[in-house]
Homo-oligomer: A and B are copies of this chain.
Amino acid sequence: MASSSPLDVSCPTPSGAYERIVLGHGSGGRLSRDLLRDVFLEELGATQLDHEEDQSSFDVEAGRLAFTTDSFVVSPLFFPGGNIGDLAVNGTVNDLAVGGATPLRLSAAFILEEGLPVERLRTVVRSMRRASVEAGAAIVTGDTKVVERGKADGLFITTTGVGMVPAGRRLSAKNARPGDRVLVSGMLGDHGIAVLAKRDGIELETEVVSDTAPLSGLVEALLAAAPDARSMRDPTRGGLASALNEIAASSGVGIELDERLIPLRTQVRAVCELLGLDPLYVASEGRLVAIVPPESEAAAIEAMRAHPLGRDAVALGTVVDEHRGRLSLRTLVSGKRFVPMLAGEQLPRIC
């Protein structure tokens, strides 16, 4: 980010003197500096953000570095259980975690639409701080661009994370083997339905709240109990079906789920039925899918259930040596059906 200039006090801008983002906030000049000081440094903390250089640097041990990035364009920006800010932090933390990496540092790049209320941005950044502290990975570098009104939709955030993978740990989508068990850490689809309900004004008797959460603690707990775990994913965009199709394809195995065992809230099930959505494709943002050898199933489930984010953990399927590269579902009524990758788009802008 552009640096603040503590010595240049010729024309101070008092905090709060601007209520909406203007193009000048992306200029790299005085207004950029004010925004950095008044919002980013104020909310993230000057000790966290390395704000006087164009890059941040920190010491690392020799080892395997993990590196991941995601853009977030969720609409609306605020939804039950979270906002684009904690979603952006948790999403990137989780992509590190499911690779077995301990998150180290995060970056955050903002594309702001001219006219965005500064207080909305502040609330988002505050949530990012909270989420990054919870994940133990500080946001140390960033960027802000502003585009004209109508050229973006309020606010987009791209987060990138680096982490270290402990020696000997090699989780991979290629590692699943026939006989392995498929576990999930909790109820599926809460995030997607929470965003959808908010966006479309769907009134529910009991509100569905996003499950957005950082999974690194849960992953560590699971790996301590089941160090031979093969592969992990967070079933975000594209849902459980996409995550498992990818693992099946990468490992060259089939995966078979038992429909009765798929953990879904009543309201999530109801909204999906109402709108003709398949919950297997609906995004979660704080759930873990893990493939473990059968002998580790019990220990893995126990470890997950002992963690606050894994209380509803269940085994719901098995890796098989049939229909390689494909996911099948043993259903309540009709026997067995295949669950392919989603052809089109079921729920746009859910993350």
- Interface-lining segment among A49-57, A119-127, A305-313: A49-57
Residues A141 and B31 in contact, CB atoms below 8 Å apart: no
Q: How many angstroms from the CA of A340 to the CA of B67 in the assembled complex?
A: 38
Q: A24-B345, A245-B8 are in contact. Are A68 and B54 (CB under 8 A)?
A: yes
How near does chain B come to A226, taking the closest CB pair, in angstroms?
19
Pick the residue among B5, B59, B68, B98 that contacts A63 (CB under 8 A): B59
A30 at the interface (CB under 8 A from B): yes
- Indicate with 1 or 0, residue by residue over A36-61, a CB within 8 angstroms of chain B CB atoms: 00000000000000001111111111
Residues B5 and A341 in contact, CB atoms below 8 Å apart: yes
A23 at the interface (CB under 8 A from B): yes
A250 at the interface (CB under 8 A from B): yes
Residues A67 and B60 in contact, CB atoms below 8 Å apart: no
Contacts of A248 in B (CB 8 A): 5, 7
Q: How many angstroms from the CA of A248 to the CA of B351 in the assembled complex?
A: 41
A73 at the interface (CB under 8 A from B): yes
Residues B29 and A238 in contact, CB atoms below 8 Å apart: yes
Residues A236 and B28 in contact, CB atoms below 8 Å apart: yes
Q: How many angstroms from the CA of A145 to the CA of B252 in the assembled complex?
A: 27
Residues B57 and A65 in contact, CB atoms below 8 Å apart: yes
Measured as residues with beta carbon below 8 angstroms from the partner, the interface class of chain A is: 35 or more
Residues A141 and B249 in contact, CB atoms below 8 Å apart: no
Residues A60 and B57 in contact, CB atoms below 8 Å apart: no
Contacts of A67 in B (CB 8 A): 55-58, 105, 107, 140-141, 162
Contact residues of A with B, CB < 8 Å?
Answer: 2-8, 10-11, 22-24, 26-33, 52-73, 95-96, 98-99, 101, 105, 107-111, 140-148, 150-153, 156, 158, 160-163, 165, 172-174, 233-234, 236-239, 242, 245-246, 248-250, 252, 281, 324-326, 340-346, 348-349, 351
What are 22 A-to-B residue pairs whose CB atoms are below 8 Å?
A3-B250, A6-B325, A10-B340, A26-B345, A27-B342, A28-B236, A29-B238, A31-B343, A53-B99, A53-B173, A55-B101, A58-B65, A59-B63, A59-B65, A60-B64, A62-B62, A67-B105, A67-B107, A69-B141, A73-B111, A107-B160, A156-B156
